[in-house]
Structure 1
Amino acid sequence: MPMYMPKDVKLARAYVPDQPYERLFPLNEALMKGTLFANLYQPYNRENQ
């Protein structure tokens, strides 16, 4: 089980870890990439299908 999951999970509940505010893109670049967080940026590449 991932580290961010509580020990006694209940069914049909969403458990989402907090997003750390680090490695942020500048705002104009974030708008072009679709995310403010650099660690979430994964551009689509046809070759990696």
Structure 2
Amino acid sequence: MHPSEMTPTEIGDQLARMYAADQSLSDDLPSEQECAALADYLGCHKEAQAAA
């Protein structure tokens, strides 16, 4: 799902999932494409960034 289709709660959940994977707290690894899409979206949409 593209980040523009996500609610702020879903974006927050994705960020938590990515953080946990980055800290080796989870085996649920996001793809590089998922990470890049979310980072790009949040970098360009400050209102979505603040809401998440």
TM value normalised by structure 2: 0.24
Greater helix share, structure number: 2
More contact order relative to length (CA 8 Å, sep ≥ 6): 2
TM-score by length of 1: 0.24
Return the index of the structure with the highest Cα Rg: 1
